[in-house]
Structures are given as structure tokens and as C-alpha cells.
Amino acid sequence: MSQLTFDAAGARALEAIYLTPDVIAQRARVIDLLAAQPGERVLDVGVGPGLLAYDIARLVGETGQLVGLDLSAAMVAAAAERLADLPQAQVREGDAVRLDLADGSFDAVVSTQVYEYVADMPRALGELHRVLRSGGRALILDTDWRSLVWHSSDQARMDRVLACWDAHLADPHLPARLGPLLRAAGFEVRRAEILPMFSPRWQPVSYAGGMMRTIHNFVRGNGARFDLSADEIEAWRADQQALIERGEYFFSVNRYAFLATR
Ligand SMILES: C[S@@+](CC[C@H](N)C(=O)[O-])C[C@H]1O[C@@H](n2cnc3c(N)ncnc32)[C@H](O)[C@@H]1O
């Protein structure tokens, strides 16, 4: 399994995508659903560059606490820099499947675009359940890449490119299993909703615009294992460019948010 590398350059590229209007709107919806209150203790699993953590830390205020964990040292460094002026925030390295945190120590946990990278979901959700207090909230958001509608002049080639891209995740279809996984871990699912990343026309500053570069780079590095030649990958990219120039570009993929309580 090849995964994306979340090193310093990866952290910068991801941050640029997270500052596009679609992802800003997603963050606003996650913040509404989580409804963090002043004084609450909130854990962000897979904190990434810390954009969501920053907003939540400000909502819980100095009487509350925000703890951000991430497997990647580069992400921890980026988040720590962003959160440096907020004394209620702490960021450190940590693994979703082995939380170095006390039982019942959080009122709420949030994790966006992280569990799709985690192979052992029963163990990761067991850890979430353990660190939440009774009645505490968990907000989890992931993408199901099966929901992708991405127009191409050659669908068979597009399917081969996307099969390669799917390999960057432990489970590119996690949302379809999340409800039952949460219930099996002892949670009650209160709400589930779709957050589309939708570009019905080409917009360079958009989630889809950023992902064009990310997917192109990933497939160039990993295509050989999927019998995708360099020429085929460049033909796929050139086709997208031609569609953009003819005004025929279309991209839509869904993210799924689950709000559960312990
Ligand atoms: C796509 S980014 C999402 C970042 C952030 N949650 C957001 O939505 O802005 C995925 C993040 O999950 C982290 N990650 C992946 N597997 C992890 C694990 N097992 N434990 C903790 N973090 C993990 C990566 O290092 C990366 O920062």
C-alpha cells in the first residue's frame, strides 16, 4: 500500500488545498456539527496543519483544552506553529490506534480525513470510545471515492488512474462502513450527512483544482504498479486540460460526516 507522504512539502501542499473555498465551507459545517462549547476538552485526531484545531481551540477558550495528535512530525510542526499563541492548545505526535491519553478525558473528539488512512478501525474507534467521557461526542468525516463523478473522454483510462489513486488510502470507501463500525465500538450514531466537493466547471482555486495536481503526482509515482505507463498518465492529464479549455470539465466527490455519542 502506497500512501501520501505527509512531510514538510506534503504539509504545505495539503494546507493550500485546505484553504480553498470548498474546504473552508466543510470546516464551517464540521464546527457547527461538533458545537464545541467554552470550557470543553476537545481532541483532534490527525490534526494535520491545524486549521480546524485553531478554530476549535478559540471556541473552547482558555478555560477549555484542545489536544491535536498526528502521526507526522511535519504536520505536528505546522499545527504547533499555527496554534502557538493559544495556551489552551497542545499538539503532539501520536497514533490514532494507540492514544496516549487517559480514559474519559475528553468531552468531544473530531477527526476529519484521517480514518480512511487507518487499517485497524475497530481498534481506532475503541480508542476514541475509551478517551471520551460518557455522553461525549465524536465527529468523523471521510471521503468515499466511489462517489466520484469526474468527466473524461476516456472513462476506462480514468478508471485505471483512479484505481491507482485509491491505493493512497487504507480504505477509500470507509464512509459506507462507518455507521456499523461506530455502533460496534459502542457509539450511538446521531446524525450523518454528505458534504460535496463539487466543481461543475474548472476553478483552479478549489478542492478539485488542488487534487488535480496531487493525483497527477501520486499516479506518476505509483502508476507502474497499476500498469499505467508514463504516456498514458500524461494523456489522461492532457485530456483534462482539453476538457478545461472546451468548458467541459466536471468533478464531484462526497465527504460523509458522522456525529455519534458515547
Ligand atoms: C488528509 S490529512 C487531514 C488533516 C486534518 N484532519 C484536516 O482535515 O485538515 C490526514 C492526516 O492524518 C494523519 N494520519 C494518518 N494516519 C494517522 C494515524 N494513524 N494517527 C494519527 N494521524 C494520522 C496524517 O499524518 C495527516 O496529517
**Does pLDDT of 15 surpass 90?**
no
pLDDT at site 8: 77
Mutate to test the pocket of ligand 1, among 114, 131, 143 (most ligand atoms within 8 A of CB): 114
70 lines ligand 1 (CB under 6 A): yes
**Does pLDDT of 157 surpass 50?**
yes
Residue with CA nearest ligand 1 atom 10: 114
In total, the chain counts a number of residues equal to 262
Answering whether pTM is above 0.85, one says yes
Task: Point out the ligand 1 atom lying closest to the alpha carbon of residue 97.
Answer: 19
> 155 C-alpha to center of ligand 1: Å?
31
Q: Are the beta carbons of 195 and 22 closer than 8 angstroms?
A: no
pLDDT tens track for 97-139: 999 999 999 999 999 999 999 999 999 999 999 999 999 999 9
Mutate to test the pocket of ligand 1, among 70, 125, 207 (most ligand atoms within 8 A of CB): 70
Distance CA 83, CA 94 (A): 17
Mutate to test the pocket of ligand 1, among 24, 34, 54, 117 (most ligand atoms within 8 A of CB): 117
Grid cell 471515492 is found at 145
> 47 C-alpha to center of ligand 1: Å?
6
Average pLDDT over residues 78-83: 96
72 lines ligand 1 (CB under 6 A): yes
pLDDT at site 158: 97
pLDDT at site 201: 96
> 71 C-alpha to center of ligand 1: Å?
7
**Does pLDDT of 44 surpass 80?**
yes
Measured on CA atoms in the order 102, 103, 108, 111, is the torsion positive or negative?
Answer: positive
pLDDT at site 1: 40
Q: Which amino acid is at 226?
A: F
Query: What value does the mean pLDDT of the chain take?
Result: 95
Reading the block at residue 21, the C-alpha cell is: 473555498
117 lines ligand 1 (CB under 6 A): yes
Task: Point out the ligand 1 atom lying closest to the alpha carbon of residue 72.
Answer: 25
**Does pLDDT of 19 surpass 70?**
yes
Domains of the chain (ranges plus CATH)?
8-145+169-199+253-261 (3.40.50.150)
Task: Point out the ligand 1 atom lying closest to the alpha carbon of residue 52.
Answer: 9
Average pLDDT over residues 181-205: 97
| SS3 of the chain | CCCCCCCHHHHHHHHHHHCCHHHHHHHHHHHHHHCCCCCCEEEEECCCCCHHHHHHHHHHCCCCEEEEEECCHHHHHHHHHHCCCCCCEEEEECECCECCCCCCCEEEEEEECCHHHCCCHHHHHHHHHHHEEEEEEEEEEEEEEEEEEECCCCHHHHHHHHHHHHCCCCCCCCHHHHHHHHHHCCCEEEEEEEEEEEECCCCCCCHHHHHHHHHHHHHHHHHHHHCCCHHHHHHHHHHHHHHHHCCCCCEEEEEEEEEEEC
pLDDT at site 13: 79
Average pLDDT over residues 202-215: 94
pLDDT at site 3: 63
207 lines ligand 1 (CB under 6 A): no
Which residues are bridge partners to 220 per DSSP? none
15 lines ligand 1 (CB under 6 A): no
18 lines ligand 1 (CB under 6 A): yes
pLDDT at site 150: 98
Residue with CA nearest ligand 1 atom 5: 48
